[in-house]
Structure 1
Amino acid sequence: MVEDIRRVAVIGAGVMGASIAAHVANAGLPVVLLDIVAKDGDDRSAIARGAIERMLKTEPAPFMSKAAARLVTPGNIDDDLGLIADCDLIVEAVVERLDVKQALYERIDALRKPTSIVSSNTSTIPLGRLVESQSAAFRRDFVITHFFNPPRYMRLLEVVGGPDTRADALDAVTAFADLALGKSVVRCKDRPGFIANRLGIFWLAVGVAEAAERGLAVEDADALIGRPFGIPKTGIFALIDLVGLDLMPHVIGSMAGALAPDDLFHRVNRPVATVEAMIRAGYTGRKGKGGFYRLNRERGKVKEAVDLATGDYRPERPARVPAIEEAGRSMEALMRHPGQHGRYARAVMAATLAYAALLVGDASDEVDAIDEAMRLGYNWKEGPFELIDRIGVDRFTALIVEDGLPVAPILRTAAGRSFYRVEGGIRQVLGLDGTYRDLVRPAGVIMLADVKRAGEPVLKNGSAALWDVGDGVACLEFTGKMNTLDPDVMDLIVRAVPVVAERFRALVIYNEGSNFSVGANLGLALFAANIAAWGEIEKLVAAGQEAFKALKYAPFPVVGAPSGMALGGGCEILLHCHAVQAHAETYMGLVEAGVGVVPGWGGCKEMLARWQATPKHPRGPMPGPMKVFEIVSTATVSKSAADAGDLLYLRPRDGITMNRYRLLADAKAMALRLAEDFATPVPPDYILPGPSGRVAMEMAVAQYARLGKATPHDAVVAGGLAEVLSGGDTDLLQPLGEDDVLALERRVFMRLLRTPGTLARVEHMLETGKPLRN
């Protein structure tokens, strides 16, 4: 079905429309971006063209690569609307005015080809109103595709069809969004705010009103409505700053005007004078001069927070919420805590979860659809019904009855049970009819969580596990905090290689954490350094080198399947895989210089081999090492999987998966293809420039130091990296083997780790999560 959409038009080059066009281009499809004619200047398409230029400078970047931007054709709706005639999908993202949209639809209908699909990105105007004056053919081809901002990074797409919408149009849009754009599609009913914003705006409105009325500090409120409930640490107030304070009155007003008079939203939607005054004063959040939080540059970049009672700013302070610690990991204990913090958590989350239950049968008939919408639309770790299950349905129902909140029919249906259960290793969800149904993944989706729920690992220790994912493919999973790499990971890799060789055809390295791996366990390294256990540290470095070599020269294909951050050692293990199937949002980098060392698990040798072999780069002993020196000394991290290809962290034969849910299945398919005629790679030789190359690299660093772009310890670390990449004291005509380069990595790594400057960097990174510029 995805092949039905090959060319797209987006009309409306505002922030959302332009970003939707950029993401279509990220998928490799040509896209036309149109807006009104510019009022000034000779370029009538300046608005759309300017939007593309701004996106190339925006952070976080809407484009995954500069090459993607070349797929976007700017234009204007007066001169270029005819370009939509070749488009299979036409996305309208203009101002939220019914008259403007309907007039545009009449023009689109006159020019579009038959069977093309037209969609609106609205979340405030009902579909029925949008198409009420349009032709029957237009109504059949019309859907709502509600993207979340920013479209590249937010995985949720809400899709709404009308009574006249043809089923194959909905299927085509769903398939396209899933496979090409990497979205998780939730089908919604045509209700105000659909699912995520209907519930999310309720949650934000009650959170702000209750904090203001109870006199809570915004820092405390965000701490309470954050990690204790599996919600990002932004909580409520920092999230509104991110979205924009000035947008809130519009979305809340729109919701209030669209909902039935007896909707629970009206009870929690109360004006907050301080917030209204902030907006009038121009405090719009991060995009402006600040919001609930701001950076006071007049006082030397002092972080400040607003006092909700007075509207005055004061220095931001750490949250003071002992109730969180006293409640432990129990949400119910926190919500029943007798202090003001417990009462606030209860007022916000009890009402929000009760409202989520009221949406079942209204916004959606599916409990799991509402959970998915909040997980991906608002980055909740668990959806509202998963949270209710953690509390217990009956205990939660008793709590909201005490608060005078309505008990939704689905809560009565679930009484004495739970919304989710596992039967025979299969997860099931409760339906409106009171029966459970299996949660069946779409074709082409394999989740490791399902495999783990249904069986036992082949091998396991405290930091890693080996799983059978079917068809002769094994999966190596990291399980430590942030998926860091430690001796247990290396031990399991060494143990896994002969097991996979005997029992499987291929190995995939994959996990379902937020990040593939952030690298070595720095805390372990710092502890060993503090007790001068240098021999143990060197053993770990050597063990990592041997483990990664074992993967590289295994008698079966090894496919890495990263998503999120793959840094330091996490990048190095991927460099040793025979192939990589990366999620599009993969951020790879050899970042060891940031903590004062060089890559020690083979990262240098693998990057040297790639840059010396690439036909896109000049040949000879110097250009390759110099390019690797540039990348590694600056701790360059790719901004996407496409960018990782430009840096040669990924190779042309590696693959990219747009949908995170499809990553394991795609990696498994790649592994099976490689297994058909797999041959273990031949170890390379390295022709490196020797002392003269080392001098050239050190001269480059000295120049950066003179310009103030390199610190004194940067120069020390770069000098060690130059020693490795130049081959040390090697003769220019003498080739080195892999073990020679690994020995250099190990020697320089250990030397740098003993320096006070590096130890300070490691300690600072552990304490702050940021590199020390010493």
Structure 2
Amino acid sequence: MNRTIRKVAVLGSGIMGSRIACHFANIGVQVLLLDIIPRELTPAEQAKGLTLEKTAVRNRIVTESFQNTLKSSPAPLYSPEFSSRIKLGNFDDNLAEIKEYDWIIEVIVERLDIKQSLFGKVDKLRKPGTLVSSNTSGIPIHLMSEGRSDDFQKHFSGTHFFNPPRYLRLLEIIPGPKTDPKVIDFLMNYGDLFLGKTTVLCKDTPGFIANRLGIHAMVQTVRVAEKMGLTVEQVDKLTGPVVGRPKSGTFRLSDVVGLDTTVHVANNLYESGAETDESREAFVVPGVMQELFNKKWLGDKSGQGFYKKIKDESGKSVILALDFKTLEYRPSGKVKFATLEGTKAIDNLAKRFGVLLEGKDEAGEFYRQTFADSFRYATYRIPEISDELYRIDQAITAGFGWQMGLFETWDAIGVRTMLDIMEKLDKKPAAWVYEMLEVGNESFYKVENGRKQYYDIPTKSYKEIPGQDNFIILSNVTNNIVWKNAGAALYDLGDGILNLEFRSKMNTFGVEVIEGMHKGIALAEKDFRGLVIANESTEAFSAGANLAMLFMYAIEQEFDEINLMIAQFQQTILRARYSSIPVVVAPHTLALGGGCELSLHADKVVAHAETYIGLVELGVGLIPAGGGTKEMAARCSDLYQPGDPELNILQNAFMNIAQAKVSTSAQEAFGMHYLQEKDQIVLNRSRLIAEAKQAAMELADNGYTQPKPRADIKVQGKTGIALFMAGVAQMRLANYISDHDAKLANKLAYVICGGDLSQPQTVTEQYLLDLEREAFLSLCGEKKTLERMQGLLTGGKPPRN
């Protein structure tokens, strides 16, 4: 279908409407955001002598909603300046403008009569062929389009975003009874390619897929917790990162989302499941949730829910947790289970599940009960909510941030192993699971020739999950590993491109990763035509240097070892820059310290939109010494134009490093010069490695030429050092920074300005690298630097000493 989306109208400016508008603005679309007009003046408006006819008053609701969204955290926009792409208005004055828009998305109150009334107006005003969709999470799609024109119904569907739309990857696409299949195909592709979403085709059933399974899992978790007498903190620990889910766990997530949302959805699922859901009683809201709902203790929006934050006598914030039995708050406590202790050394999530399910304590029993509930329920939802089991896993992982879906988790445990547990708990799955095993199929998924396949229930055979042509998933191509060690692996991606994957803790640069980089470049120069450095970690592209090893050397005053360590790292980074083949780096999530420095030295960076990149070394009492300080000096030098205030340009880079500032998006990284015009942003994380491979191929095809080390970096010398040191002194006098902060900033100023030079002049890269290393080495002998390093390693936060 030849269709272009240039302008989108979002009807409804509440939390979801404003955030959906922001995400379309993120990708460069012009947005019209509308809401109702107020019925009466506020006291402030009356005091100003305004009337209900004034535009500012008529747009008050949409304006306030939008401004509140812009202030929210996490930020809904990649860059604050993108807010200019959103025009505000109201339904009375501006609805007619929708005739100029390509897609109209309704995000108003969840009442069918109000939605139908609005769609009646939209039907009369829209131009034929315009897409119309609803972001409803609970109202059947077919009911909303009843009575509308044929063209409206042909182009109408459900497009259910998850909150917050910028960050959660799920977009459920729900056709109506008369929706043109070409419209659905377009939305599935557009959501994937342009919005960066995992688009999942859903049936028009209650709660669609993600909420149906996710709310079931949450309500059952609460019920099991009540039955077992577990605390709020215990449940959140059990349902967090240890099982590959967000650190918020169950109850903290409820507080963030709002308990009222969960209760309303659960009630709707109970009411709508009378004829189709054999387990509808599971959606009866548990007692403690109903009590909180009645008290309006809804979570963050009401100031208290399962948790409550207060100030103690000293003014320090304290987190209190709800006691299920008394419904009173008490200080939250530490959580410890023997079963969890037994998984600390298991980094592989799939291997962790077997240990968790075998636990002999309360943790093991909790997992057996809740997993059995969720797995059983999922099997009975096929084919009601989906004909294919992989769509269930896609929806639950993308919608709720789980690393593994229900059927993927079951595979990791072992289908027969989990089946035995379920039968002992009298929670038998649907008959098709037994039929799958009877015909000799022992798993829900398998990988063949680098392609992931799912078990297809009607044919009792495996079929390839569609859409994989656009993705490269390293875990599916382990047969293509050509070399590996404990911290890195090299994959042949085909077409002459090699991929280097880091496998260390938080993908930090230790001995094994450094070895992997040298091996990868050498092998690529010999037998390939390009190298991609990418991985699939959900935590970090790379958190930088192996701080634990550095701290050990520093404590023992092994300065020769530290000097060698830094010199080797610098040479490794430079080898990536000056290899004979193109090197493309694909950062995502966290790219900190050395992870940022590696990106700075790539021939091209292909970054995921949600890349948080920065040189953060000053936070632990050091300066960037893997080429980071040198490279920012070089990039500033390249920006200098005759007549420009050069020191102002350099000062921006200096302040970013001195404050250990990290970009809040890949887009912001351009303004910080961590990314450059040659670099690329990819919206869909699943496409990242494939896009990086394509970039490497294009560089090779265009006749890649090995660059030469630079000798033309203009530095400011004593002039710049004096300016920066004066600013640092003022900040110290005002008590904004500590003595050690001042020392670090002055060291940084010395290096980034090129040292003790009498006037601005050009220097070589190696000259700046030597300055970096010398400054870094001297700081490793500072007591306060060691305290900061120890603080990060032991408590997760360095002291501000």
TM-score normalised over the length of structure 1: 0.96
Contact kept in structure 1, 2:716 and 2:761, CA below 8 Å: no
Give the deviation of 1:3 after TM superposition: 4.8
1:310 is aligned, of 308, 326, 338, to 326
User: Residues of 2 paired with 1:412 and 1:512: CA distance?
Assistant: 33
CA deviation vs aligned residue, 1:415-456 (integer Å, no higher than 9, x gap): 25111123344432101121111234444322223332x322
5 Å matches for 1:289-328?
289-299=303-313, 300-325=316-341
Give the deviation of 1:335 after TM superposition: 4.2
User: Residues of 2 paired with 1:450 and 1:536: CA distance?
Assistant: 39
Contact kept in structure 1, 2:5 and 2:29, CA below 8 Å: no
Partner of 1:429: 454
Is 2:705 the partner of 1:689?
Answer: no
Structure 2 CA distance for partners of 1:272 and 1:738, relative to 1, 3 Å: same
Structure 2 CA distance for partners of 1:192 and 1:617, relative to 1, 3 Å: farther
Which amino acid in 1 is paired with 2:520?
A: A
Which amino acid in 2 is paired with 1:587?
A: Y
1:199 is aligned, of 205, 213, 225, to 213
Aligned partner of residue 632 in structure 2, secondary structure: helix
Is 2:475 the partner of 1:449?
Answer: yes
Give the deviation of 1:330 after TM superposition: 5.8
5 Å matches for 1:403-418?
403-415=425-437, 417-418=442-443
Partner of 2:236: 222
Residues 186-195 or 610-619, more deviating = 610-619
RMSD: 2.1
Give the deviation of 1:168 after TM superposition: 0.9
Aligned partner of residue 56 in structure 1, secondary structure: helix
User: Residues of 1 paired with 2:607 and 2:782: CA distance?
Assistant: 36
Which amino acid in 1 is paired with 2:141?
A: L
Partner of 1:366: 388
User: Residues of 1 paired with 2:525 and 2:151: CA distance?
Assistant: 58
Residues 637-646 or 223-232, more deviating = 223-232
Which amino acid in 2 is paired with 1:626?
A: Q
CA deviation vs aligned residue, 1:646-697 (integer Å, no higher than 9, x gap): 1010011211111111112222222222221323334142222222321221
2:740 is aligned, of 705, 708, 713, to 713
Structure 2 CA distance for partners of 1:566 and 1:53, relative to 1, 3 Å: same
Which amino acid in 1 is paired with 2:787?
A: A
Residues 722-731 or 33-42, more deviating = 33-42
5 Å matches for 1:330-409?
331=353, 334-335=356-357, 337-409=359-431
User: Residues of 1 paired with 2:358 and 2:496: CA distance?
Assistant: 50
Structure 2, unmatched stretches of 5+, are 46-53
Partner of 1:704: 731
1:246 is aligned, of 228, 250, 260, to 260
Partner of 1:74: 88
User: Residues of 2 paired with 1:484 and 1:657: CA distance?
Assistant: 23
Partner of 1:182: 196
Partner of 2:599: 574
User: Residues of 1 paired with 2:727 and 2:782: CA distance?
Assistant: 22
1:648 is aligned, of 669, 673, 683, to 673
Aligned partner of residue 397 in structure 2, secondary structure: helix
Partner of 1:593: 618
Contact kept in structure 2, 1:304 and 1:316, CA below 8 Å: yes
Is 2:151 the partner of 1:137?
Answer: yes
Is 2:496 the partner of 1:496?
Answer: no
User: Residues of 1 paired with 2:150 and 2:711: CA distance?
Assistant: 65
Partner of 2:273: 259
Aligned residues: 772
User: Residues of 2 paired with 1:418 and 1:687: CA distance?
Assistant: 61
CA deviation vs aligned residue, 1:708-738 (integer Å, no higher than 9, x gap): 3212221121111111112111231542111
Contact kept in structure 2, 1:4 and 1:172, CA below 8 Å: no
User: Residues of 1 paired with 2:285 and 2:455: CA distance?
Assistant: 37
Residues 558-567 or 402-411, more deviating = 402-411
User: Residues of 1 paired with 2:629 and 2:772: CA distance?
Assistant: 7
Which amino acid in 1 is paired with 2:571?
A: E
Structure 2 CA distance for partners of 1:2 and 1:510, relative to 1, 3 Å: farther
Is 2:749 the partner of 1:722?
Answer: yes
1:212 is aligned, of 226, 233, 242, to 226
Structure 2 CA distance for partners of 1:617 and 1:285, relative to 1, 3 Å: farther
Contact kept in structure 2, 1:585 and 1:641, CA below 8 Å: yes
2:565 is aligned, of 527, 540, 560, to 540
Which amino acid in 2 is paired with 1:359?
A: R
Structure 2 CA distance for partners of 1:539 and 1:358, relative to 1, 3 Å: same
User: Residues of 2 paired with 1:330 and 1:681: CA distance?
Assistant: 46
Which amino acid in 1 is paired with 2:777?
A: M
- Percent identity over the alignment? 38
Which amino acid in 2 is paired with 1:4?
A: T
CA deviation vs aligned residue, 1:385-441 (integer Å, no higher than 9, x gap): 111112222232232222222421332232251111233444321011211112344
User: Residues of 2 paired with 1:390 and 1:48: CA distance?
Assistant: 47
Aligned partner of residue 772 in structure 2, secondary structure: helix
Structure 1, unmatched stretches of 5+, are none
Give the deviation of 1:616 after TM superposition: 8.5
User: Residues of 2 paired with 1:341 and 1:584: CA distance?
Assistant: 37
Give the deviation of 1:333 after TM superposition: 5.7
User: Residues of 2 paired with 1:733 and 1:298: CA distance?
Assistant: 54
Residues 362-371 or 299-308, more deviating = 299-308
Contact kept in structure 2, 1:698 and 1:722, CA below 8 Å: yes
Structure 2 CA distance for partners of 1:410 and 1:714, relative to 1, 3 Å: farther
Is 2:765 the partner of 1:738?
Answer: yes
Give the deviation of 1:350 after TM superposition: 1.0
Partner of 1:757: 784
User: Residues of 1 paired with 2:527 and 2:137: CA distance?
Assistant: 52
Which amino acid in 1 is paired with 2:432?
A: I
Give the deviation of 1:552 after TM superposition: 1.0
User: Residues of 1 paired with 2:492 and 2:59: CA distance?
Assistant: 55
